Structure 1
């Protein structure tokens, strides 16, 4: 005789009543899985282990027991996925061993998969929506916990044959597997046909869970670094989701935060700034941790676009710890020292490591250095440029200009000062003169091509050796540097060197390569600044200069060095749309939805001429 199961009978009866009442929230309260479970659940688990022990026959009987939970039509259940889900739920309670996290993860993922299938029912699926969200959160928490334990992940890869896979096959982590399951639930919510579809509708039925599931899926994708998989999610939301404004503030803020981070990672800084600013404005004032996270990405968005955080912003409670990271960065950009800027954002510096953990280091290094060069050029122009003749304002005169040779000297001065403080050697006379890269093994020895060992004419060396190979010399920065014995400072001298005894540098053919290379890089940097609109004017290649025409009205500085934020924002404001942010359709003057719009195509293939009935 089978043992009685009074608690299980009562539990199944209560679940059946909740299904008939379509009370999804209370159903989720009943279907608990996280330990520690209350005493009533422990007693029900004992009944399951005694009456339905693990095995195919017991599982079949338990499945038949769960069939009464949904109404039947023509001899079969109208919602067949739900009894299977309930049978897996009871099996999970009966078989789970919380000390074995891997088995727990696999059982929970199978349970969530079945719950997502139950969610797909057009009539009753909305009942399990809270349960899907609850199970997804538990699965996400467990997957992220396992992801921090490499030994357990290695074990599961060995069990699945992961160690025998080819190296070029990308391995799927537990977090990504969880994100794939949550994405299926998101699709079920997004494609629900209840209510009015499209941007004119309001969230009804399963559509109320669109952003709940999207936010959880985005959290997992950001955790495992698979942001490319989120692109289709944003495209689907743009095409099928109701406007974001119809959803609760917590969902709006979370979604805009992840949307802003996604746009930031794709170098779309203007729409990212709009999304993050909206998330910050709508976030509750007492949610300091959430507002701090938003500011962590909103501030670099603005810095890249040329707007620095104010002191009042950095002194707010939600900005705690951010001033120490961003204030020195802003100071270096204004200072114009590109070498100190690179050192500050190097991978080995504490600041660089903090930015790297937040995922914003490369964006700051790649996008802000051009602002450093702009500040550097502006300072050199202020102190060494020609600002125009005030007496010739009413007459025609040369525009303000800056000789690029002065920029070259200032750059060499920065480099020499950095060498003196860091003890580094002279830059090579090949490759980039402003970017330091490690030596390629194939080109080792080229750095000494300018210092050749003396093996020339003994008579020439006897007469001019103290000049051609001295014990030391002053570099271009005015600092003394030692010379190895017998090393030629200027390379091998010409055979007719005696002709230049009074002026060894009279011949134009004797010249260093480094200044020419450095001047070329400076011209390229200025050309980039002019192309981006961060500086206004033109360059002359012969007798290299940067000239600022049309500076009589506003002055040389405002004309040649316009405000960076105004320049970028004015250009970007031509299209203020944010991909992935669904807004209500704009209304025309007469109150009707505006036709067309940016990015929309109006199909007129079926239109008939005016007057034709």
Structure 2
């Protein structure tokens, strides 16, 4: 076998590094990203000449790598590391960067073996920097391929794996996240260091949030946020307090935690996480602060607190005023139709929100605030605000007739040139009266002939129906009640002719029910407005009660503070007061409260009481 001076020198250096347990230097030695220096190129040539692909050369190379770890009486104490080093050398020898999918597979196998080496209780911490380095390279490659699927489409076709359904089930990014998650678990479950909330991270536990942040980045990239739930639960149960870790790790983790909570509609905890990340982020990291501020502002808007001018004038807030100020003005104005148009899917103003992943959340969560502003304005201009001269026990409370709110809604619909329903609840031409009356949309094409509650299909429409649905109504054959196949040679209707007495119920099951508008019943729009007000009252965004016989909204107890502060309380104060009852943020391990610790012994927490000599209850 030919001499390998470069490989010998490399192995000698690795043995010394392992002996000194210098993880940072080991990571610096094991470079894989091109362009590589000349000495690595020479080592690769030696590997290709002296250790070509084959089982015999692989065995010899494995034996040489086994000399890197110290020997014990029972053999090698770190058997996973020599295998990892052999895979490293074969990776350097066989990798072809032009074949991206093959490069990904080789690197994925190398990282898997490095994670196994990380699991050793004594020596595993040595490869922690290497695991992080390989994970970052694998994540970079996986996310690059995810953004450019055309780069590997021809390879997938050649390998016969161009099954779109199977590709979508587990993407390359998700596979990478699964490997990184294994490294995260090994760091989290490490027993080194002082346990408890005051113990600082030592050993592999120093990499808890490094691996967690990288895994969360991959999960957000592939859209598998549900897979992060177990990570946050494990961190809550086993991780040291986040305050013991470096600032960069804290900021990154709190950002991803806020994103996760935001996606699960936990806006107050998400706001706390984003606020902490923004406060701790370096003032010169403008792009990172801009990203955090985007979601922090969105959280606050949903909870009724709008960004100030001073905040939007900060350097890191560049470009945010143009996006959020129009949205805030629409919420204050109370024009729910203009709000919907502003955040509609085909609106140019919604593209930025869609790219940030907050469009649908803002649409769904802020519309109730728009309705609150709309009701408040109608109450100011058309409601009874109360008589300030009346005595304490006389006079009705402030109220608003809902008929005036209905008229204002009709006016708003006409202002936007939206076809509205007439007095008996029927929609104008090409629009349906079924569904929402506040936002009327065009009828579904499948029900284009349904323009009235009492509409019945015309007799001459049977021919068109048979042409369109004949294979279903009159098939070539059918199974009878005995399970035998019967041919339908005549092409007749399998279910027979419909009974003419039920024609009017084919499209409307309740033609004569209470859904039909009558003079002494509220309109469909009135019912919908009552539902909206009931939702506002249930959420605490408005205070008062509704009456149905003479539909109105009343505000009792308004003599001391006034009708508006009593009936329309501050949204942010209402939500924050309610949420502050439980200030715990899931997934955020904080330092224990000193006051709670000092009160613990007085409350008997953690003490063992001997009850062996206690008498039964009721004994003399």
TM-score, normalised to structure 2, is 0.84
Q: Contact 2:337 / 2:439 at 8 angstroms: preserved in 1?
A: no
**Superposition deviation, residue 77 in structure 1:** 1.2
Aligned to 2:558: 551
**Cα distance, 1:51 vs structure 2:** 1.2
Q: Kindly indicate whether the alpha-carbon contact (under 8 Å) linking 2:419 and 2:431 is maintained by their aligned counterparts in 1.
A: no
Counterpart of 1:503?
none
Structure 2 unaligned blocks of 5 or more: 421-427, 457-515, 616-620
Alpha-carbon separation, structure 2, partners of 1:352 and 1:611: 72
Report the secondary structure of 1:203's partner residue.
coil
Q: Deviations over 1:381-418 (max 9, x none)?
A: 11111111122144511111101011000001111111
Match of 1:444 among 428, 445, 448: 448
Secondary structure of 1:546's counterpart equals strand
Q: Which runs of 5+ in 1 are unaligned?
A: 453-508
Contact 1:384 1:402 in 2 (8 A): yes
Map 1:165-204 to 2 at 5 A: 171-204=169-202
Question: Does residue 30 in structure 1 map to residue 29 in structure 2?
Answer: yes
Match status 1:562 vs 2:569: yes
Q: Which residue of 1 aligns with 2:309?
A: 311
1:357 aligns with 2:364: no
- Structure 1 position 353, deviation (Å): 2.0
Flag the 1:420–1:535 CA change in 2: closer, same or farther, 3 A: closer
Contact 1:197-1:240 within 8 A present in 2 as well: no
Which has the higher mean CA deviation after the structures are superposed, 345-354 or 564-573?
345-354
Query: What residue number does 2:213 align with?
Result: 215
Contact kept, 8 Å, 1:429 with 1:514, in 2: the verdict is no
**Which residue does 2:17 correspond to in 1?**
18
2:236–2:586 CA contact under 8 A, matched in 1: yes
Task: For 1:184 and 1:340, locate their aligned partners in 2 and report how far apart those are by CA, in whole Å.
Answer: 49
Shift in Å, 1:610? 9.6
**1:535 corresponds to which of 529, 542, 553:** 542
SS in 1 for 2:49: helix
Q: Are 1:585 and 1:593, in contact at CA under 8 Å, matched by a contact in 2? A: no
Q: How many angstroms apart in 1 are the aligned matches of 2:598 and 2:522?
A: 66
- Residue 414 (structure 1) aligned with residue 412 (structure 2): yes
- Name the stretch that deviates more: 443-452 or 387-396: 443-452
Distance of 2:593 and 2:602 partners within structure 1: 9
Match of 1:138 in 2: 137
2:339 is matched with 341
For 1:559 and 1:549, locate their aligned partners in 2 and report how far apart those are by CA, in whole Å. Answer: 8
Distance in 1, Cα, partners of 2:311 & 2:419 = 35
Instruction: Give the distance between the partners of 1:140 and 1:512, measured in 2 at CA.
Output: 66
User: 1: distance between equivalents of 2:553 and 2:166?
Assistant: 50
Rounded Cα–Cα distance in structure 1 between residues aligned with 2:583 and 2:159: 48
Alpha carbons 2:430, 2:442 under 8 Å: kept = no
Rounded Cα–Cα distance in structure 2 between residues aligned with 1:15 and 1:106: 25
Instruction: Show CA shifts across 1:558-603 (max 9, x none).
Output: 0000000000000000000000000122234773657999xxxx89
2:432/2:442 contact within 8 Å kept? no
Distance 1:192 1:594 in 2: 30
Distance 1:156 1:608, change over 3 A: farther
Task: Trace 1:411-490 onto structure 2 (pairs within 5 A).
Answer: 411-419=409-417, 427-447=431-451
Within 5 Å, give how 1:92-103 maps onto structure 2: 92-103=91-102
Asked if the contact 1:538–1:548 (Cα under 8 Å) also holds between the matched residues in 2, the reply is yes
* CA deviation profile, 1:344-368 (whole Å, cap 9, x unmatched): 1111112222212211111111110
CA distance in 2, matches of 1:426, 1:563: 41
Could you say what secondary structure the match of 2:389 adopts? helix
Q: What CA deviation, in whole Å up to 9, does each residue of 1:452-502 have, x standing for no partner?
A: 9xxxxxxxxxxxxxxxxxxxxxxxxxxxxxxxxxxxxxxxxxxxxxxxxxx
- For the pair 1:518 / 2:525, whether they are aligned, the reply is yes
Change (3 A) 1:225 1:127: same
Q: 1:594 to 1:552 in 2, by over 3 A?
A: farther
Q: Is the 2:401–2:552 Cα contact (8 Å) retained in structure 1? A: yes
Q: Within 2, Cα distance between the matches of 1:110 and 1:12? A: 21
* Cα distance in 2 between the residues matched to 1:61 and 1:512: 95
Q: 136-145 or 47-56, which moves further after superposition?
A: 47-56
Instruction: Compute the displacement of 1:428 (Å).
Output: 3.0
Q: Secondary structure at the match of 1:429?
A: coil
Counterpart check, 1:48 vs 2:47: yes
**Structure 1 residues 513 and 541, CA gap change in structure 2 (3 angstroms):** closer
Alignment of 1:284-323 (within 5 A): 284-323=282-321
| Contact kept? 1:401, 1:548, Cα under 8 Å | yes
Task: Label 1:425 to 1:290 Cα distance change in 2 as closer, same or farther (>3 A).
Answer: farther
Counterpart CA distance in 2 for 1:593 and 1:183 is 36
**Residue 6 (str. 1) matches residue 13 (str. 2):** no
Partner in structure 2 of residue 129 of structure 1: 128
Moved more, 99-108 or 354-363: 354-363
> Contact 2:187–2:205 at 8 Å: present in 1 too?
yes
In structure 2, the partner of 1:400 is 398
C-alpha spacing 1:155/1:608, structure 2 compared with 1 (3 Å): farther
1:608 alignment partner in structure 2: 610
- Cα 1:314–1:595 change in 2 (3 A) is farther
Match among 325, 350, 370 for residue 368 of structure 2 = 370
Q: Which SS does the other structure have where 1:539 is aligned?
A: strand
**Counterpart check, 1:115 vs 2:114:** yes
Note the C-alpha offset of 1:218: 0.2
Query: Which residue in the other structure is 1:205 paired with?
Result: 203
The 3-state SS of whatever aligns with 2:540 is coil
Q: CA RMSD in A?
A: 2.8
Shift of 1:156: 6.0
